[in-house]
Structure 1
Amino acid sequence: MDIQGKVAVITGGASGIGAGLAKRFATEGARGIVLADLNLERAQGVARDAGPNAFAVKCDVSREADIQALVAAARERFGQVDIFMSNAGILGRMGGIELEDALWEKMWQVHGMAHIWGARAVVPEMIARGEGYFVVTASAAGLLNIVESAPYGVTKHAAVAVAEWLRIAYGRKGLRVSCLCPQSVQTDMTAGGTGSAGLDGVLTAEQVAAEVVATMRDERFLVLPHPEVAKYFQAKGQDYDRWLGGMQKLYAAHTAEPKPA
């Protein structure tokens, strides 16, 4: 799908990948760009930079009512939604099963149910028209896991599964679906450090947006701005136990007590 003439909704649009997508979509000739974020003021600034065909809506993607209101605002302004970029994400905190239920629940909402709610709001009309594009921002952690944060790795796996299911169920009914799985990207979430996600370099949001557009044009499923991820994913599938052993070593190195000076 080409972006020119299309209407795109982007959640998590106030910064990082979302802001990069808005800028790129404007360059590609989108007819309308709707930026959704909890930080409305910052999202409005991104919308101004994207041009007169962009506007911002305050939206908490952990609430289905907010996503429904977002889509209603996009329809009121532009008539329909052609592309839904389900991009919002949170980092949470480092840790594992000991982390509190409230954090796990928030991660499930933002990295799991938000994609379901987004699809519920726009996919039926896309199917009725026989055309539409739904992009889930997951992470390389959704394919490969991540040693620093159990909630992040687990819920990003869920994000990939949602995208897979949408492609399986509706791919022959006109819905295009892609899943964005980058490693580290220059965003507010990585400002404090990239951890193991930065092993293969840190990309700019603009570089990621360019890869998203190229993948959408070809209508491929996985968007892999870091090409190394494909190799790691292939290795995981070929020898799962060996891959798990390698991840155990990475986890051990991450959690090792620092040696005294």
Structure 2
Amino acid sequence: MRLISYAWQGKASFGAVKGDGVVDLAPAFADRAADLRDFVGLDALDEARAYVEGATPVAALTDITFLPVIPNPDKIIMAAVNYDDHRIEAGRDRTENPVLFLRLAESQTGHGAPLKAPPESHHFDYEGEIAVVIGKGGRRIARDQALDHVAGYSIYNDASIRDWQRHTSQFTAGKNWNDTGAFGPWLVTPDEIGDYRDMALETRLNGQVLQSCVASDMIFDVEALIAYISTWTHLRHGDVIVTGTCGGVGFKRVPPIFMRDGDVVEVEVSKIGILRNPIANETV
């Protein structure tokens, strides 16, 4: 099942993809879920599938505005240097535990929306990643139970302002500019994904392939990330864990490649689809 957050005719809602359209799930779950974050915590996929089967799409996918899959997560936890080829190109040592940082919800944007290049920098870089959305919350989740807590998988472009990221040893300043965290186009439920390790990721800038890897290349896999993160914080439904990018980022290329106004960046993940965003200069 493919679940989306979207806006249509000036109203934000959540739904399921059916063919080339979207079925609005809000009427069926109005008493239990105000948005997709609430819905993924309900354990109501069978009920939703039955509803979608008998429902008519309210709009075509070409007519809606895609919102970030979870527009309002309690937490967005990002894994850094979680693929060896990226770790090596970045000159980082392997660590015993995952390297993590946080993104703000207001930094996110949806599929098809422009990623905004700020005037304060010309070092706007791409990072194609696989995102995991938590369905069943928990604390101190055992590794062998971790995947039971996953509502589904999506795509993230952790677009980064590299010079600001390197102002200090901390990543926050370069990772939280508004309209830089692309998240979409939809959430795919685990039953349609199967073994997530088989998913292949490819990032393209103006059609040029710049990143290519498979999820099985992660240093810390999804189970390890969930177990580790839930040790120190309570994971809640709708929380997002972004699993890290692989080698080929722009600032480590010779010469460097950065995203500019008018470019188009695509992150494709097999079994999910394509997250596509144009690049536009931020107006101030």
Q: Same fold (TM over 0.5)?
A: no
Give the structure with the higher percent strand.
Answer: 2
TM range (shorter): under 0.3
**TM-score normalized by structure 2?**
0.24
Give the structure with the higher percent helix.
Answer: 1
**TM-score normalized by structure 1?**
0.25
